[in-house]
Amino acid sequence: MTSLSCDSVTDDALYQLACAVRESGYEFTTVTPATHERVNSRTENEWASDLAGVFGWSRPFREGIVPATIWDLMRRADVLRPHEEGWRSRVRLSSLQGQLFLHSAYPTVEADSVFFGPDTYRFAAAIESHFNSASGPVGRAVDIGCGAGPGAILTALARPQAQVLAVDINDAALRFAHINAALARTGNVEPRHSNLLMDTEGAFDLIVANPPYLVDSAERAYRHGGGPLGAGLSLAIVDAALERLADCGTLLLYTGAAIVNGYDPFKAAVADRLSQSNVAWSYREMDPDIFGEELLCRAYAHVDRIAAVVLTVRKP
């Protein structure tokens, strides 16, 4: 195994840990938090019995479940958390399009948690679909609110000659994005602290984003979208992208839209903004019903459903 180009000893150990887990043949598809809770609540799943239980399902584990090499790397990476007579991992590893991504362990309750789940897979599918249908050159790209970095990394893999920025306001996310880019061997990804596109320069041929879009009472950064029904950040990304897209550049925004009495207020707000700009755009529902449990929350008392949508904006 090679070393991560990083000043932090723990970051290098975390990279080595991910490499060791990958070399074991590990794969894990991450489910929704609701499904995760239901599966882990089964009696036989109280404790992990393999690496998928430790690094995928975030179950507590006892000594001997994790091979000695991986245990030592976990200790050096400072990801071991005591739990009763055993331990828990502070990180998870998820599979996506042949890559492994480090992110926060379940449950993601901390303010700086880095989320990865079914939304990430849908976002990745939207990016893949875009590259399958678009053959234009990409010199500069950016993933706004990059989280663990899947958008930036998949873009970098598809367009290895491009300069790809991975921007976020969460330092924990940038740390994971940096390590995950090294895992994917993408030397053209640059994680950078930025609110939207502040502190970045120039125009972009491609802007991708999978922002938080829920109304979260705790206002956790990875969930809370702000604004009307959680659409605030998504609309801010549209505004920022319109100012920074290069000629023939594209915005690919995957987000959630709360539908009220059959009406999509997010789409209406997008249409109002884009009607004043010389751009071509399309909007589609990728999944008509996601995060149905959120409808039990007060903020969604009058919402029919939350849809996963993909907005594509192209500047002529």
The residue segments making up the domain with residue 137 are 118-314
- Assess whether 129 and 189 both reside in one domain: yes
Helix (H) or strand (E) holding 209: strand 204-209
- Assess whether 67 and 131 both reside in one domain: no
Residue 247 exposure: Cα atoms within 13 Å on the Cβ side: 0
**Per-residue model confidence as pLDDT tens digits over 203-224:** 999 999 999 999 988 888 788 8
pLDDT reading at 304 higher than 80: yes
Q: What pLDDT, on a 0 to 100 scale, did the predictor assign at position 1?
A: 39
- Assess whether 201 and 288 both reside in one domain: yes
* CATH number for 165: 3.40.50.150
**Residue 79: what are its φ and ψ, rounded to 5°?**
-115, 10
Q: Is residue 111 part of a domain?
A: no
- Assess whether 220 and 83 both reside in one domain: no
Q: What pLDDT, on a 0 to 100 scale, did the predictor assign at position 315?
A: 94
**Residue 36: what are its φ and ψ, rounded to 5°?**
-55, -45
Cis-peptide into 150, omega within 30 deg: no
- Assess whether 280 and 202 both reside in one domain: yes
Q: Is residue 110 part of a domain?
A: no
**Per-residue model confidence as pLDDT tens digits over 254-292:** 999 999 999 999 999 999 999 989 999 999 999 999 999
Q: Is residue 301 part of a domain?
A: yes
Which of 55, 70, 104 delimits the end of a domain? 104
**Per-residue model confidence as pLDDT tens digits over 151-198:** 999 999 999 999 999 999 999 999 999 999 999 999 999 999 999 999
Q: What pLDDT, on a 0 to 100 scale, did the predictor assign at position 63?
A: 87
Which of 104, 138, 171 delimits the end of a domain? 104
**Residue 204: what are its φ and ψ, rounded to 5°?**
-125, 140
Q: What pLDDT, on a 0 to 100 scale, did the predictor assign at position 2?
A: 42
- Assess whether 162 and 17 both reside in one domain: no
- Assess whether 289 and 257 both reside in one domain: yes
Q: Is residue 109 part of a domain?
A: no
Q: Is residue 174 part of a domain?
A: yes
- Assess whether 270 and 247 both reside in one domain: yes
- Assess whether 177 and 96 both reside in one domain: no
For residues 90-104, average pLDDT: 98
Q: How far apart are CA 191 and CA 173, in angstroms?
A: 9
What domain count does the chain have?
2
What six digits make up the tokens of 155?
Answer: 């873009």
Which of 104, 134, 157 delimits the end of a domain? 104
64 burial (CB, 10 Å; 0-12 / 13-18 / 19+) is exposed
- Assess whether 129 and 60 both reside in one domain: no
Q: Is residue 4 part of a domain?
A: no
Q: Is residue 291 part of a domain?
A: yes
Q: What pLDDT, on a 0 to 100 scale, did the predictor assign at position 312?
A: 98
Q: What pLDDT, on a 0 to 100 scale, did the predictor assign at position 4?
A: 52
250 neighbors 312 (Cβ within 8 angstroms): yes
Q: Which residue has the tokens 């070399």?
A: 23
DSSP letters spanning 257-293:
EEEBTTB-HHHHHHHHHHTTSS-EEEEEEEES---GG
204 neighbors 244 (Cβ within 8 angstroms): yes
239 burial (CB, 10 Å; 0-12 / 13-18 / 19+) is exposed
Q: What pLDDT, on a 0 to 100 scale, did the predictor assign at position 166?
A: 98
Q: Is residue 17 part of a domain?
A: yes
**Per-residue model confidence as pLDDT tens digits over 24-44:** 999 999 999 999 999 999 999
- Assess whether 265 and 149 both reside in one domain: yes
Q: 3-class DSSP state for residue 66?
A: coil
**Per-residue model confidence as pLDDT tens digits over 114-128:** 999 999 999 999 999
Residue 196 falls in which region: left (phi positive, over 0), alpha (psi -120 to 50) or beta: left
* Mean pLDDT, the chain, whole residue set: 94
- Assess whether 71 and 145 both reside in one domain: no
